[in-house]
Structure 1
Amino acid sequence: MKSYTLQQLALRNGQDRPEIWVAYRGMIYDVSESRLWKKGMHYEHWAGQDLTEELADAPHTEKVFEKFVAIGQLA
């Protein structure tokens, strides 16, 4: 599986490039097809970031990431 840096992840924010990616626990997920992530934002969360710390404040568990394809690892 390919590795990406935080800087590369940051470019996949739905603004700078069409891809919408987020990271969680070292894995990077492509959420581009999710209607909840259109324009790179989901509630107060922005795409192109590591959301590991922010999940504690979310109304769902980490199982939400099972809906998405893991496309890489955070370097």
Structure 2
Amino acid sequence: MTELPAYTRSQLALRNGQDKPQIWVAYQGLIYDVTASRLWHNGKHYEHWAGQDLTEELSGAPHTEEVFGRFTVIGVLK
């Protein structure tokens, strides 16, 4: 198994759908690429913004962490 690249919070923040074309979010130390999701168009999903660690915010979401299984893990958060 290949080791995943590590990204800082600053690097993650640039993948917000505005500064760079990629749309990434982090959850429990893993970074997910949500670029292809229509629900993350322009880097926003309801009251959540891409380029951030959403671990603390998930408790208020109408879905469980299983939703992250739909997306590719592309790195780990340093």
TM-score tier by shorter-chain length is over 0.9
Which structure 1 segments of 5+ residues have no match? none
Amino acid at match of 1:42: H
CA deviations on 1:15-43 (whole Å, 9 max, x unpaired) are 00000000000000000000000000000
Give secondary structure in 1 for the equivalent of 2:25.
Answer: strand
Matched, 1:8 2:5: no
TM-score (norm 2): 0.96
Q: How does 1:28-67 map to 2 (within 5 A)?
A: 28-67=31-70
Instruction: Report the counterpart of residue 68 of structure 1 in structure 2.
Output: 71
Q: In structure 1, what is the Cα distance between the partners aligned to 2:49 and 2:28?
A: 16
- Report how many aligned residue pairs link the two structures: 75
**Cα deviation, residue 12, structure 1:** 0.1
Which structure 2 segments of 5+ residues have no match? none
Q: In structure 2, what is the Cα distance between the partners aligned to 1:46 and 1:67?
A: 18
Bigger Rg over Cα: 2
> Identity percentage over the alignment?
69
